[in-house]
Chains A and B, each alone.
Chain A
Amino acid sequence: MTMRFQNSLITGGLLFILVYGTLAVAMPFLEHHYQIRIDQRLLPMSSSYWFGTDQFGRDTFAMVIGGCFASLSVAAMAVIIGAGIGIPLGLIASAEESALSRIILSLNDLIFAFPALVIAILLHNIFGSGILTAGLAIGLFNIPVFARTIYGASRPLWTKDFVKAARLAGRSTLTIAAVHILPLVSSVALAQIALQMGLGILAEAGLSYVGIGVVPPMPSWGRMLNEAQTLIVMAPRLAIIPGLAVALSVFFFTWIGDRLSDYADPRRRQVYDHDRA
């Protein structure tokens, strides 16, 4: 695969996120398109209904576009919670072996020990359904993922000579973590953020599928899949279209994460620049 092709894929991926974000913002303006109209139910694909309508007469195309909002906002919230808490924890734990680092790592293991779905149901019972609850539940499980990844990536860096030199220069552990370690693990963090975005979209679809995600009438790909399963023989497009939407989003976020992490490294960046020149 040529570098030129890879670069165009990065551009393509970023373009995808841009379109995705725009569509998510457009969601409220599409509201009248996915109102229930029983007289229009199960219409096939046509010029006025590009993807047809479902069993309640809602425009599937508008639903898919509207679904961007739920999945993007839930995944973004989960990543903000996970990265915002997990990355600092991982950095602190990696600095030196101390009581604090042991507590952080044990708490990580504790969260890993609970099945995610149980926590999601618990939160659903306490706070009710909605974007906030779903984002919180998924975000909670993102914390140890980020903490572990950053811990593992930073741990070997603390023994490097430039860290010793920074200590001799009088820098505090927190400063070293911020100015030396964090930028060096940023490519790892970036890749993990993109990966967790993808997984967050998948998790939102899963929660909505079992009925504890976003609340109707807000469209969600997960609930579309759920509602489509009884009609899988009669109208398979109702399952295929939201399924493809989920798969494509996950694929693109993972892909972008991979490429961005390559590009964040100046040694590899040189290779790109060299080959482009």
Chain B
Amino acid sequence: MLIQDGARFMIMTALELKNLQVKLGARRVLDDVSFTLDKSEILGLVGASGSGKSMTARALCGLLPHRADYGGTLTLETQTLSLSQNTSFETIRGKKIGLIFQDPAGVFNPLMTLGDHVAEALHRVDGLSWGEAREKAQMTLDRVGFPKDIHAFKRYPHDVSGGQRQRVMIAAALALSPQIVIADEPTTALDVTTENAILTLLKQLAKEDGLGVILISHDLPVLARVADRLMLMKNGRIMESGALPLLKNQAPELSRLLALGHNEEAIKPAKNASPLLQIKALGKTYRSPSRFFFKSSQSFDSLTNISLTINKGEIVALVGESGSGKSTFARILAGLDHASQGEIIWPSGVGRVQMVFQDPVGSLNPRWTIGRSISEPLSLPINDPKIAEAARDCGLDPPLLMRYPHEISGGQAQRAAIARAIIARPELLILDEPVSAVDFEIRDQILSLLERLRVIHGIAMLFITHDTVAARHLSDRIFILDKGKIVEHGSTRDIYQAPQHPATKALLAAASSSLNEARTS
């Protein structure tokens, strides 16, 4: 019996982690983290930011900060390592455990072709010649579905889309045939259609190669779609673990996470439609300067013939995939860029416009306290009571006003950015993907906050997003933007019940399939 168990362990288990502890200074960031990962299994690691998901992944490949103090045991097939600061990960990292990161843009060397990123490991670690390495890299690239007609060995990272770069990164992680792949938020930077493709690929690789995959995400629907098992982390501990249907009944945390994002019939106050601004036939053309004087300059239409009206106190959503021209439109409306054609009419005088940006931390000056950032639009002295009032309106406690952006969470930073936007009481608030960089849980809080601010202050909002679930939650009317054109618009309810245009259907299908799977699986 014992022997059989041992044999089973050898065959089935890809990785076993026992009692991982990590301390940073006096702070315990991971406590007694233990789990096993089978071959062909996709283990989903879910939790809010700061719960220890990424720290666990980094501990597995010895990428913890130097000051970290840690212990535990890691078993990979026959090899057992006791983890400490002196453990050598040379034989494991890359060879047995491959890594896929969140931001494909930041990981690539801009001066190296995409193909060489995959071939490099084969050349340096496996000792193949560059020729052999490139041949093998091409095979790996084919496996992950990187299109052959893109010629990976001639193209550079900036030549291809985020989704294709993510494929290259997966190929690079797989090149050395590891038994385990850790994917840390691999699809967070991608739009829904691309996200689907990447997740399907991961699932297929796990099945075909017997690869154990640890998939880290704050996005539960993503995990629910592909993961065989889920592990919920909170405050550096594993709260629950098991298959999703089991967990849903047991863990209130999880069912709350799942319940977010679809209270469809939120109260939408009826308004007597008095237009705040009208946009007529707006267009934006970018001209790339001609490289040689005999070659005519190329132009590119980012936006074509956009017409829409925003009424006072109304929330209008502009939904489209990345590259559809959403952000260009936001910039023009905010006066940060100029339109090439068309006009923007404010019937009752040009209104005050404020904006909330996608990356909450990047929208705050890192050297300014939160209070000072909020004070900026009104040039208030730092102790003016209006600042604390705006902060409180957005759910920020006064002590936070003395902190710096790196000392608060992403959700708090986004609340601060919203407080800065509303302190001047704008008539129009432009929200450029305000919830796509924050946790699933915080997303819901931010959306509720925006809804409340609309009711309290009557601020009209233009909500720009690729997230159809969030758009449905918040908006009164929806405009669908595809390749710079508005292809469909109507009341939120109509669009969701009877989408007409293929682009709309694609956006809705991608989002709802992920949610339905999360709910029903």
Kindly identify, within residues 1 to 55 of chain B, every residue whose CB is under 8 Å from any CB belonging to chain A: 25
**0 or 1 for each of A178-202: is its CB under 8 Å from B? (1 = yes):** 0010011000000000000000000
Decide: A170 and B355 in contact? CB cutoff 8 A: no
Bound-complex Cα distance A167 to B362 (A): 15
Give B379's nearest chain A residue, CB to CB.
Answer: A169
The answer on a CB contact under 8 Å between A164 and B367 is no
CB distance from A117 to the nearest CB of B (A): 36
B355 touches A168 (CB 8 A): yes
Residues of chain B from 400 to 429 with CB closer than 8 A to chain A in the complex: 404, 406-407, 417, 420-421, 424
A115 within 8 A of B: no
Closest residue to A166 on the B side, CB-wise?
B376
Given known pairs A169-B376, A266-B404, the reply for A161 and B357 (CB within 8 Å) is yes
The answer to whether B362 and A162 touch across the interface, beta carbons within 8 angstroms, is yes
Q: Does B377 contact A (CB under 8 A)?
A: yes
Any B CB within 8 A of the CB of A160: yes
* Interfacial residues of chain B within 378-407, with CB under 8 A of chain A in the complex: 404, 406-407
Check B366 against A267 for contact (C-beta < 8 Å): yes
Across-interface contacts of A165 in B (CB, < 8 A)? 354-355, 357, 363, 376, 417, 420-421
A171 within 8 A of B: yes
Q: Taking CB as reference atom, which chain B residue is nearest A160? A: B362
A168-B377, A171-B376, A266-B406 known; A162 and B365 CB under 8 Å? yes
Which residues of A are found within 8 Å of B510, using beta-carbon distances?
A: none
Cβ of A169 and Cβ of B377 under 8 Å apart?
Answer: yes
Which chain B residues lie closer than 8 Å to A168 at the CB level?
334-336, 353-355, 377
Chain A residue contacts of B365, Cβ below 8 A: 162, 180, 184
Cα of A6 to Cα of B200 in the assembled complex, Å: 51
- A274 contacts the other chain (CB 8 A): yes
Complex: A162 Cα to B417 Cα, angstroms? 9
Q: Contact: A183 with B357, CB < 8 Å?
A: no
Complex alpha-carbon distance, A162 and B370, angstroms: 12
**Are A162 and B364 interface neighbours, CB within 8 A?**
yes
Is B439 engaged at the interface, CB distance under 8 Å to the other chain? no
Contacts of B331 in A (CB 8 A): 164
B465 in contact (CB, < 8 A): no
| Chain B residue nearest to A187 in the complex (CB) | B367
CB-nearest residue of chain B to A264: B367
Contact B376 A274 (CB under 8 A): no
Q: Chain A's interface: helix, strand, loop or mixed, by majority?
A: helix
What is the size, in residues, of chain B's interface with A at 8 Å between Cβ atoms? Answer: 28
**Chain A CB within 10 Å — which of B358, B363, B404 has the most?**
B363
Interface residues on A, range: 10 to 19
B363 contacts A162, C-beta separation under 8 Å: yes
Chain B residues within 8 Å of A184, by CB = 365-367
Select which of B336, B359, B407, B424 is within 8 A of A167 by beta carbon. Answer: B336
B373 within 8 A of A: yes
Cβ of B66 to closest chain A Cβ, rounded Å: 11
- Nearest A residue to B359 via CB reads A161
Task: State how many angstroms separate the Cβ of A260 from the closest Cβ of chain B.
Answer: 15
| Of the residues A162, A167, A274, contact of B373 by C-beta under 8 Å | A162
Query: Within B321-345, which residues are at the interface with A (CB < 8 Å)?
Result: 331, 334-336
What 1/0 mask marks residues of chain A from 142 to 180 whose CB sits below 8 Å from any chain B CB? 000000000000000000111011111111000000001
Q: Which A residue's beta carbon lies closest to that of B355?
A: A168
Residues on B with C-beta less than 8 A from A171 are: 376
Say yes or no: A266 contacts B366, CB within 8 Å.
yes
Give the distance to chain B from A159, nearest Cβ to Cβ, in Å.
10
* Residues of B442-481 contacting chain A, CB below 8 A: none
Considering the chains assembled together, what is the distance between the CA atoms of A212 and B510 in angstroms?
Answer: 75
Contact with B along A243-263 (1 / 0, CB 8 A): 000000000000000000000
| CB contact under 8 A between A266 and B367, given known A169-B424, A171-B376 | yes
Q: Which residues of B contact A162 (CB under 8 A)?
A: 362-365, 373
Quick one: closest B residue to A184, CB to CB?
B367
When C-beta atoms are compared, the residue in chain A nearest to B430 turns out to be A168
Residue among B354, B363, B406 making CB contact with A161, cutoff 8 Å = B363
A180 to B365, CA, bound (A): 7
Q: Hey, what's the 0/1 contact readout for B344-362 against A, CB within 8 Å counting as 1?
A: 0000000001110111001
| Other contacts beyond A161-B363, A165-B357: 9, CB < 8 A | A165-B417, A166-B376, A167-B336, A183-B367, A184-B365, A270-B406, A270-B407, A274-B25, A275-B67
- Which 5 pairs from chain A and chain B are nearest by CB? A161-B363, A169-B377, A161-B357, A162-B365, A169-B376
Ordered by A's residue number, 16 sampled pairs between the chains whose C-beta atoms are within 8 Å are A160-B362, A161-B358, A161-B359, A161-B363, A164-B355, A164-B357, A165-B355, A165-B363, A165-B421, A168-B355, A168-B377, A169-B420, A184-B366, A184-B367, A266-B404, A267-B366
